[in-house]
Each structure stands twice: as structure tokens, then as C-alpha cells.
Amino acid sequence: MILPKVQIKKILYTTDLSETAFHAFAYAVSLANLYGAGITILHVLFEDPDLESKVAPFIGADQWEEIKKRHYEQAREALIGKKRDNVAIREILHTFSENIKADDEHPDFVTDEIIVERGNPVQQILKVADERNCDLIVMGSHGHGMIEEALIGSTAKKVIRRSKKPVLVVRLPD
């Protein structure tokens, strides 16, 4: 039996800026160096587009509208702030990537692009992996408690279930 040749040219590395994600980056860089692959770095700012449908049954549509009107200006300022945060996060990730490249142990990997998206992390990860034609997704795994994991599931778990691409989930060492 002949095994197919594995070619990894594009790696999607996803980060939530946690220690676990940082640890996963070591794997992304190692694989990029081994295969001569480029790395796309993705950070997703979580937004819940279904918030209104979740909140309205508890307080009523009229009260929800009243709250939205009252906080419109605050929401507007927060949104403008979030746009500035995108730039800051992108710059932080760029600096992080450049610092790792400056280290003598990992000088060869290429950062193809740095993407900061808004929305559901699972959907955005899968979308970017498909749009950028990535060969592998590398992400960290968080050791959430069993109750939390049972209720909401982890991003990594959902990506593994839904991805058509191979997914490498990296845990922090004990």
C-alpha cells in the first residue's frame, strides 16, 4: 500500500492570544519550517449576531429597543474602539511573529498574512481555511471544566468536527 504524499504549503494558525495558543504557535512554526509552508495568523473577535433573539424573550422586544436606543452612543463608541483594537491586535501579532523570526532557532518561516476577523470563531476559522486554501489548521486547546465543555463545547472541538482540512490541536504541557 502506498501512502499519499503529504504536502503542507499553507498553515492557518488561530490564536486567542492565550498561553495555549502561544504554545501551539511553536508547532505551526516547526511544521512551516519542515515543509517550507507559509503561516496565516488568524484572531477572531467573538460577536454574537443572535444576541437580540436570545435577549428579547427575557425582557420583551419593546424593552430591548429602549435599551438599544439608550445605549446607541455607547455602542457606537465601542465599535469605533473595536476598529482601533483590530489595528492594535494585528500589530501585536505582527510584532510577535517578527520576534519569533528574529530568534536564531526559527528564522525560516514566512508569515503570509495576519487576519483579525469578527464573528463566531468556528465559522471564521473554517471560512478563512477554505478561502485561503490552507492545508492544515493549528490551534490551541483549552482545558475547560467538564460542565462548561458539555454546555458550550470548545472552539477546537467544533472546528475538528466541521473542518474538511486536517486540524492539529495543541495542549499545554503538564
Determine the pLDDT at residue 13.
96
Q: Are 37 and 31 in contact (CB under 8 A)?
A: yes
Confidence of residue 136 (pLDDT cuts 50, 70, 90): very high
What would the CATH number be for the domain defined by 10-170?
3.40.50.620
Domain coordinates in residue numbering, the chain? 10-170
Q: Rounded mean pLDDT of 119-132?
A: 94
Look up the pTM and report it. 0.74
Angstrom distance (rounded) from CA 4 to CA 2:
6
Give the burial class of 14: count Cβ atoms within 10 A of its Cβ; 0-12 exposed, 13-18 middle, 19 or more buried. buried
Percent of the chain residues topping a pLDDT of 90: 40
More confident residue, 97 or 78: 97
Cell representation of residue 168: 492539529
pLDDT reading at 16 higher than 70:
yes
**What pLDDT digit, counting tens, does each position of 24-50 carry?**
999 999 999 999 999 999 998 876 555
pLDDT reading at 78 higher than 90:
no
pLDDT reading at 148 higher than 90:
no
Which sign does the torsion angle of CA 17, 23, 29, 31 carry? Answer: negative
Determine the pLDDT at residue 108.
73
